[in-house]
Structure 1
Amino acid sequence: MPGRIYFLNLLMLFLFPLENAAQLHSGRLSLPAVISDHMVLQQRTKAVLWGWAEKGSEVNIAPGWTSEKYTTVTDSTGKWKARIPTPPAGGPYSIEFSGNGTHIRVKDVFIGEVWVCSGQSNMEMPLKGYRKQPVLNAAAIIADAAHHPEIHVFRVPKVVSATPLNDCAGSWKTADTSTAPDFSAVAYQYATALQERLKVPVGIIATYWGGTAIQSWMSEETLARFPEVWLTGRPDTIRDPEKDPEHTPSILFNSMILPVCNYTIKGFVWYQGESNREHPLLYRRLLPAMVKEWRTRWNGGTLPFYYVQIAPYGYADPDHKLLPAVLRESQLLALHDIPHAGMAVILDAGEEKYIHPPDKTVVSQRLAYWALAKTYHQKEIDYASPVFRKMKIRGREAWLYFDFVKEGLTSGNKAPAQFEMAGSDHVFHPATAVIVHRNLVKVHCDAVTAPVAVRYGFKNWVKGDLYNSAGLPASSFRTDNW
């Protein structure tokens, strides 16, 4: 695979060798960074604890929530691993580790719900915002953090590596007004939504890097099935891998996924896609492959995966044409290929001039609806946006049928304004739409005498205005494949 070799050779030439402390073990008992004070372990499961010691030696583990003691033995490489039963949510506890004459005490351990939150800049965006790009209601959210000490966040540092790493730096932080400003606005508010509803501690493993493409978060082995990935690398990576190595395929999987993938979790939250907008059809195939790989690495074949559809944005580059809209479509269609998944639609929450929409609360809430309804089985929670199901042409009108509408569709006190219609000439014109039944929209256009196709919100920049009765917006969609 010449493209892959070219990229990796560049990395070897330009990347400073990474001295990862956890790659070098003296034989003394040691733990990965993620197993440390203030951590949250997944409740009611067998949580994986691991570390390193002299090969062939015993490691003893004494969890504070039980009188049981556990013993494991290191393998030929000096690594040890144990599965420790966890109780219902609670804490704080401590865990004692001993072996090779070394004793380690991990303190302030809580038992609750643990989620991995990953992606690019819209997931990374902290509550304190970016320069000239604030987060909506940030001051109130940060002030309220003092009331959420049972939310703990482990941030995986931004590190690149051409080879797999088994540990990272970092530490668990407890939510308060001093730590919250640096927390991901989406991840933190997702955690608060769960914590307030479930009344249990929530742990977030935050691993993200702005501007990165999905292939950076996938292994070489998985990407070997997609040789075109190595031909679609970002131009700045080819010119200067020393400046932007994080865009290289697999580079973040090695350094920001592998070090934490032993940690027992409840599921994943993902907000990414803008950096793959130039190749949306490839993304449709990559996303399910990444999810499958992550689930395998975390030893959880059915771990829930909830993700955000990218927001509309007024891309200035004319070469983008409708590719971002096709990327949204690819994210929607990928739901068919990813079991136990859900997608938060934010077609109504974008900003034309800002690729980082300030309203991160609505994003977090819509993600939490999926988790509360599907993972935590709270049946009264509405979670799914309306989804276009089929179209019937009747004379000069198109009749569109939708699923997930419950009590019906709505566009407020006005007609939906984002529909377009085309005939056999493939030219789309603004169309008039009327909600005529609970799950039915009639579309008409005077300029089209023989309708062939209808689109809704299928533009790079658009403000969605079609909702179900729960206030969840429909995704953009098209009935054609032009």
Structure 2
Amino acid sequence: MKQSTVFRLSVTLFVLFSFSVVATAQPQLPAFFSDGMVLQQQTDAAIWGKSAAGKTVKLTTSWDRKNYAAKADDQGRWKIRVRTPQAGGPYEISITDGQTIRLRDVLIGEVWLCSGQSNMEMPMKGYRDQPVIGANEAIFAANNPQLRFFTVPRALRMQPQDTVKASNWKKATPETVADFSATAYFFGRQMQQTLNVPIGLMQISYGGSSAEAWMNEEALNAFPAIKKLPAADSAKISQRSPMSLYNGMLKPFIGYAIRGCIWYQGESNYERPDEYETLFPAMVSLWRKEFGQGDFPFYYAQIAPYNYSQLPPYNTGGKYNSAYVRDAQRKALDKIPNSGMVVLMDVGEENCIHPSQKAVGGQRFAYLALGDTYGKKGFVYKSPLPDSIRIQNGTMVIRFKNAPVGLTSFGKPLVNFEIAGADKYWRPARAVISKGELHISSPEIKDPVAVRYAFRDFVIGELFNTAGLPVSSFRTDDW
């Protein structure tokens, strides 16, 4: 046989083989559409993927035997919305474009996005030499197939992605829980116990990440001081690079039906508190717009006190004080609709940026969600916040909201208050709790104009409502 004939035959066989592979390939789904997944109950949950261009994709759900269909576009992309029932399962979902795949052991329940930086990412087993208090007992007792989670692997990308690195849904067992987010697990465990429905947790976090890394280019155009990395500099990309985590980790997940989000981040933006005051609400607005599910609940942790001056570049003084970012987060409550803030003033550690009492934060996240989103009654679930301030005979009197039975220091002295007069010079102040109000004064100031509480980089909060939820650090000035 001539060499040219052999070549043409080889090419023909290659083309036929390639066509056969394309023609018989199963529909392609992002990694999180898989066996064991949890879908949000009683909603139009989107399921999407890729097939050959122009192919008709059919989908059947076992809970109602309803059939759906969509045609893949010229790039092979398709999306189908399925109506989910009340919580239950396990169910199956069949997807075919000529070749069939079946998603088995699918539960219907409540799905929460859990995102942020290292304090959300910190696993139950802890970091090296940094424990999670109570984790070993919780890991030992973890055996709950109704609590499931999916961890999106770390990924930094210059361009938006369609899917994430290989991962899979896992049921809560000692083997799986040890490597899962401690904050998210303690949150999800309480949610499942209280609601008694399947809970799905999607963990999308990256240690050391900045808020701008979780935003897209369009949203960041409103912040010209944030410089985007040129495409030619892709080798320099990091978890603090604008858009890097939005593109690599969040974008593929956008559109998955969720009930809400819990967020623990801010440490990597602590040196830019004024910017964070508008950047953070803009990020939340972007996510809600992208997901297209309205103003879903967004609960976030106020960063815990910590001595940031021990981190490079070792800045001190002025606004190099994490209290300013905590204050920006406090103010964000008025800028972000349907939001809530977990206060961690009582669990910070001076020399460790990762507080070990993760169960405290997870439980407080659950309180917020159960009270605000699910309407559970009979317990206090929000930390006190200043509500009104008046000056009375040289004393500043503050009334707080979210303190239905008043305030307490649990017997400890109130030592973290300062007041200032018109000279803007801060002096230590005496604070007294009286009939649910706080009376603050100093013999050195006859006419006070401003007050601050726990407004230092590292401080242990001492003021709580009687339910034990701490008061956020705050200031009444804008100096």
Where does residue 306 of structure 2 map in the other structure?
Answer: 313
The one-letter code matched in structure 2 to 1:202 is I
Partner of 1:246, secondary structure, is coil
What is the aligned partner in structure 1 of residue 198 from structure 2?
201
Q: 1:244 to 1:30 in 2, by over 3 A?
A: closer
Structure 1 residue 254 and structure 2 residue 242: aligned? Answer: no
Shift, 1:318, TM fit: 4.2
Partner of 1:421: 419
Deviations 1:360-382 (A, max 9, x none): 01101111111101111112232
> What do you get for the CA RMSD once the two structures are aligned?
1.8
Matched letter for residue 104 of structure 1: I
Q: How does 1:50-449 map to 2 (within 5 A)?
A: 50-99=48-97, 101-146=98-143, 148-169=144-165, 170-230=167-227, 242=235, 245-316=238-309, 317-319=314-316, 321-322=318-319, 323-438=321-436, 440-449=437-446
Q: How many residues align?
A: 450
Separation in structure 2 between the aligned mates of residue 414 and residue 287 of structure 1, nearest angstrom: 34
d(CA) in 1 for partners of 2:158, 2:268: 21
Separation (CA, whole Å) in 1 of partners of 2:308 and 2:157: 32
TM-score normalised to structure 2 length: 0.91
Distance 1:284 1:369 in 2: 25
**2:282 and 2:471 mapped to 1: Cα distance?**
25
Q: Deviation of residue 389 (structure 1)?
A: 2.1
- Structure 1 runs (4+) deviating above 4 angstroms are none
Contact 1:61 1:70 in 2 (8 A): yes
User: 2:234, 2:392 → 1: CA distance?
Assistant: 56
> Percent of pairs identical after alignment?
44
Q: Deviations over 1:227-285 (max 9, x none)?
A: 11128x9xxx9xx9736522110011011111011211111110000000111111111
Q: Deviations over 1:163-208 (max 9, x none)?
A: 1101112211111010111000001111111000000111111111
Q: For residue 200 of structure 1, give the secondary structure of its aligned residue in structure 2.
A: coil
Alpha-carbon contact 1:278-1:320 (below 8 Å) kept: no
Shift of 1:412: 1.3
Tell me the CA shift for residue 397 of structure 1.
1.5
Deviation string, structure 1 residues 368-404 (Cα, Å, up to 9, x no partner)? 1111011111122322111112322223321112112
Distance in 2 separating the partners of 1:54 and 1:91: 31
Q: How does 1:17-32 map to 2 (within 5 A)?
A: 26=22, 28=25, 29-32=27-30
Counterpart residue type for residue 199 of structure 1: N
User: Greater Rg, structure 1 or structure 2?
Assistant: 2
Task: Give the Cα separation in 2 of the matches to 1:198 and 1:156.
Answer: 25
Question: Distance between the aligned counterparts of 2:234 and 2:58, measured in 1?
Answer: 44
| Aligned counterparts of 2:419 and 2:264: Cα–Cα separation in 1 | 31
In 1, Cα distance between the equivalents of 2:477 and 2:69?
61
Moved more, 356-365 or 167-176: 167-176
Q: Unaligned regions of 5+ residues in structure 2, if any?
A: 1-20
CA separation in 2, counterparts of 1:318 and 1:162?
A: 30
Q: 1:26 Cα shift?
A: 5.0
Q: Which residue matches 1:5?
A: none
TM-score (norm 1): 0.90
Aligned-partner residue type, residue 124 of structure 1: E
Name the SS of the counterpart of 1:332 in structure 2. helix
